[in-house]
Structures are given as structure tokens and as C-alpha cells.
Copies of this chain bind each other. A is one copy, B any other.
Amino acid sequence: MRLSQFHLATVKEVPAEAELVSHKLMLRAGMIRKLAAGLYTWTPLGLRVLRKVEAVVREEMDRAGAIEMLMPTVQPRELWEETGRWEKFGGQLLKIADRKAQEFCYAPTAEEVITDFARQELKSYKQLPVNFYQIQTKFRDEIRPRFGVMRAREFLMKDAYSFHLGQDSLAQTYQAMYDAYGRIFTRLGLTFRAVQADTGAIGGNASHEFQVIAESGEDVIAFSDGSDYAANVEKAEALAPAVARPTPSASLSRIDTPKQKTIDEVSAFLKVPATQCVKTLIVKGREGLVALCLRGDHAFNEVKANKLPELPDDIVMASEEEIVAAIGAKPGSIGPVGLPESIPLIVDRSAAVLADFVCGGNTDDTHYTGANWERDARITRVEDIRQVVAGDPSPDGLGTLRIARGIEVGHVFQLGSKYAEAMDATVLDDQGKAQVMLMGCYGIGVSRIVAAAIEQRHDDAGILWPEPMAPWRVAVCMINPKGQAEVTAAAESLYSELAARGVEVVLDDRGLRPGAMFADMELIGIPHRVVVSERGVAAGTLEYRARDAAESRQVTVDELLRLFG
């Protein structure tokens, strides 16, 4: 492609509303243009990237045995009524009435339509398993569309749906999709993790989210550096420390700690590390107050505490008045030693192995030092109620946990019989008996991947595309202000040579000054840049620079061509 024949329109100013780096860079690079809230036109440049993602997704879905089809974007209300989602889906479902006042929605997903298709098309167990997919425009009427294509209303999604007789078959296709997703994100050159996701009643390994690691991600995940283990940080288990609790060696003494309330204050005041302190939270239980003890440096994990039988679904901290009335001290001085017997005392696994620790004195402005479990303070139960931290052992026993933020770009889910049952989608089994099918569903946010990749890979100058996503792999920049025939010929020849080798190359023949040209190529993230100039032609060299390299270097044409096989 010659840039003079293309429509490249980078811009300097970016609308103030763009918060995310990817949103800003996509606007600046001229990959997208806003049409209305949450609606974006993909420019020629942006579409090149989107299509590359789409192609990789398609190839790997095909390789995994999924079969492509295409469902309408406009879907009748009646089908959505069958599953109850016409109402339950909520405001994100864009409802439409046609000229005859028939009601439809713009599909945000297609479980209903594919299940309707399946119950008509699939009659026998012999047709199973089968895995249908489509790459089709979707619409979710987000209440606050923002972040560009990261959370647009109209977006491009790959959605797949598999049908099975029996859980083994579902698990097998689920694993095939899990593996295919891994290949897709690996091929796209992205750093990602497959994260166990909440599956509600289904449980088990029945759902994974694929998260692209990026600082701006909305989700925080914990993952092992020694295995594939990854989980939402709220869900990652904190293993019990491998060490046993030391024998008490200090004696208990109450110390005045005037105005020292937080762990940091107490730790500094007493010159004891936070890891040797115990903090105590008093929450409202189903029946009276409950005390929760954690190591001073650990964060309380509400998701885990939610599963304690003593606590209600929504955990509420006890008020200062309630605490003073029950214990006789304010929240900053509460501790397990001498706590009223009526208050259950749940101790986190890591706090439970401490000896000779510091904790609140249950009298205002005092703390204990040299406190010990059992000897000085009872334990109702030891539980995992803290958030994991970087450096914790991985729950699968392999490696150490790291913490990172992630952007969800894919989701695999074992739906089980939910939709097939609601819509009566059955096949005859080998005994001739009608059986409800089991289903899996597997989504990838194709347009979202483009933004996620930028969040993961960018610098001050612009985008750093992984090669498989770049609009072009190589940019040949021609600097030829005098219009010299030799320079033009050298640039054209290099362009043709690269193209002939199957390298996706763009020739910047727009005649811009070098600074503007280089800035554009860096902004739009072309992985390799070659400069053809008068001086270079005279010297028989090209100036080559990889997008992520600190400096450019001089190479011959042959050396350059060898770089691209």
C-alpha cells in the first residue's frame, strides 16, 4: 500500500472525554471516529487492525472444529421471552419496534437464536457434539458508554455455542475452546491469563475469563509465576502458611498507645513490624457482632468473608457506638485478648500462626504486646478471609503469586442445560429418548482486543503493535525533498522487494518532512521502519529502526531483506 493512496489522518488534539490511553491513541492515530455516544466508525487504518484480529480468531476457531455461521442482528422478542431475558437482560437490551409494531432487539448475544436454531436443526445424538460460531456486530445499550471501543455500544464479537449430550462431551469442547483461546491470544502477541471466573450455581472449572494484562484494566487478578493458575484477586485462595505457630516466648503486657489507632501508627510507635501485629474488625453478624482478625499488613477480603456462616450476604461494619457498648473501647483499640465470649472470633490463616504479637487492648489508647493465641486469646475458627498479595504461594502449589490488572477479552462458559431447558431443545439419544442438550458458550470481544492490545503496549510516542496486529509490518519512509529519481527508484524497489516476499509493507510517499513522517509511523505503531534518503542511497545503506528499539541503525538492502526472511 502506498500511503498517498490510503486515507491516513492522524490528529494532534484529542477530545478531553478520552480517558484511556487506548481511546486517546486510537483517536490520535485516526483508527476510529466517534459517530455518537458509544458508536464508532472504524477508519481504513483501524479496520486493518480489526480484520487481523478477526482473521486469527476465525482461523483458530476453525482449527478447533467450530463451524461458522451468521445470525441476524435483529431478533424477535418472542424468543427472548422464552428464556425470560426480554425483561431480565435489563436496559442494555436495545429494543426495536418495526413498522408493524412487532418487537425485536438488537442482539447483545445470541443464546436464544442459536438454541432456536439448534432445536430445529439437531434431532439426533449423532449430530452432536457441534460447535457453531459467528463473528457478528452486537449492541449493548450501555448507560455510560465510554473508553472508546473498550466499552462501545456497537461492537464486534465472536460468539460460539456448543451443544452436547452429556457433561463429558461439554467438558471436552470447553477444553478445546480454552486451548483455542490460548492460541488466539498467544498468536496475537498479547500477555494474558485465563482466570477462573465465578459460575454461580454451576461451580467447578466451568468458566474462565481471558484477561489481557494491562495497568488500566478494570479487573485485578492474581496469577502464578510457576503455573497457569490465575484468579480474580478477590477469589484467589491464601494458603495457610507452611510454618507452624511458634511457641510463646514473650509475656503479655498492656501498653499505653495514646492516639495510635491504625496499624501503621501502632507499628511505628511500638517499633514492631505490621507483620507482627493483629488487626481486629468488628462486623455485624447474623446474630450479634463478630470479630475478624487479620495480620496487620493484610487486607480484608469481603468476598471470602461472605461465605462465613456467621455473616450475612452484605457485610456491614459495626458502628463505633455498637463497639463501645459491647466491648468498652473504640475501634482503634480492639483486639482478641479478653474479647467478650459472646463475640465469635474468626482468625485469618496468616494471623493464626503468629506468636508474641501486638494487638488492641480493648481499653481506649492501649495495646497488648507479647500476645499469643490460645494462651491469651481464644480462636473460634481459622479461615481464609484476606486478600492475597504478591509473593504469596500459588494455591496450586506451583510458584508464587503475582498481582496485575487485566482487561477481559474472552470468556468461556459451561452453560449446562439452562437455555436448552427453557427453550425445550432436545435430541433423541441412542435409546430413542428425548434428552435436553447441554450447552457451552464462548465469547471474544474482537473490537475490544484492539483497544486492550494498545493498553498493554504503548509508549509516549504511540502504539507498539504486536506484529500480528499491526496495520502493516514495515514502513518504508521516503525522504526525497528534491524529488530525485534515484531516491524514488530505491524506495519503490525496496517496497516491491518486500511486497514480493509477502511482507506487509507500506510506502510513505506523502512527501512529509521526516519528523512528521516518523511521528506518524510511531503513533500508528508500525513495528519496523526503514528510511530511504539521498544520503543513504549515496552510501548504499538504509536507516532501520524497530519500533521498540532505542536507536536506529544502518543496514544494507540485503541485511534488511534478511530480517524479513
Contact at B74–A153, with CB atoms within 8 Å? Answer: yes
From known contacts A98-B141, A121-B33, A143-B99, infer whether A130 and B73 are also in contact, taking CB-CB under 8 Å. no
Instruction: Decide if A91 is an interface residue (CB 8 Å cutoff).
Output: yes
Instruction: Decide if A167 is an interface residue (CB 8 Å cutoff).
Output: no
Partner of A70, one of B42, B72, B74, B141: B42
Chain B residues within 8 Å of A65, by CB: 5
- Quote the shortest CB–CB distance from A314 to chain B (angstroms): 27
A193 to B68 alpha-carbon distance, docked (Å): 33
Contact at B35–A47, with CB atoms within 8 Å? Answer: no
A209 to B551 alpha-carbon distance, docked (Å): 56
A67 to B3 alpha-carbon distance, docked (Å): 11
Chain B residues within 8 Å of A7, by CB: 67, 121, 127, 130, 132
Instruction: Decide if A269 is an interface residue (CB 8 Å cutoff).
Output: no
Contact at A41–B98, with CB atoms within 8 Å? Answer: no
Contact at A73–B154, with CB atoms within 8 Å? Answer: yes
From known contacts A7-B67, A99-B143, infer whether A117 and B41 are also in contact, taking CB-CB under 8 Å. yes
Contact at A67–B154, with CB atoms within 8 Å? Answer: no
- Quote the shortest CB–CB distance from A526 to chain B (angstroms): 18
A204 to B94 alpha-carbon distance, docked (Å): 44
Chain B residues within 8 Å of A42, by CB: 69-71
Contact at B127–A76, with CB atoms within 8 Å? Answer: no
Chain B residues within 8 Å of A75, by CB: 35-36, 39
Chain B residue with the shortest CB-CB distance to A90: B99
Interface code A74-113, partner B: CB below 8 Å = 1, 0 otherwise? 1110000000000000010010101100101010000001
- From 22 to 62 in chain A, residues with beta carbon under 8 angstroms from any chain B beta carbon are 33, 35-37, 39-44, 46-47, 50
Chain B residues within 8 Å of A299, by CB: none
Q: Is the interface of A mostly helix, strand, loop or mixed?
A: mixed
- Quote the shortest CB–CB distance from A42 to chain B (angstroms): 4
Instruction: Decide if A137 is an interface residue (CB 8 Å cutoff).
Output: yes
Interface code A112-147, partner B: CB below 8 Å = 1, 0 otherwise? 010011001100000100101000010101010000
Instruction: Decide if A6 is an interface residue (CB 8 Å cutoff).
Output: yes
Chain B residues within 8 Å of A68, by CB: 44, 47
Chain B residues within 8 Å of A69, by CB: 41-44, 46-47
Chain B residues within 8 Å of A9, by CB: 121
Chain B residues within 8 Å of A40, by CB: 72
The CB with the most chain B CB atoms within 10 A, among A35, A41, A104, is that of A41
Given A9-B121, A35-B71, list of 9 further CB < 8 A pairs? A7-B127, A39-B74, A40-B72, A41-B113, A44-B67, A44-B69, A46-B70, A47-B69, A47-B70
Which A residues are within 8 Å of any B CB, using their own CB? 5-7, 9, 33, 35-37, 39-44, 46-47, 50, 65, 67-76, 91, 94, 96, 98-99, 102, 104, 106, 113, 116-117, 120-121, 127, 130, 132, 137, 139, 141, 143, 153-154
Q: Give me 28 A-to-B residue pairs in the complex whose CB atoms sit less than 8 angstroms apart, sorted by A's number.
A: A5-B65, A7-B127, A35-B72, A35-B76, A36-B72, A36-B76, A36-B104, A37-B102, A39-B72, A41-B69, A41-B72, A42-B69, A42-B70, A43-B69, A44-B67, A44-B68, A44-B132, A72-B154, A73-B154, A74-B94, A74-B106, A74-B153, A91-B99, A94-B96, A96-B96, A96-B106, A98-B141, A99-B141
Closest 10 CB pairs of A and B: A42-B70, A39-B72, A36-B76, A44-B67, A91-B99, A72-B154, A41-B71, A44-B69, A99-B141, A96-B96
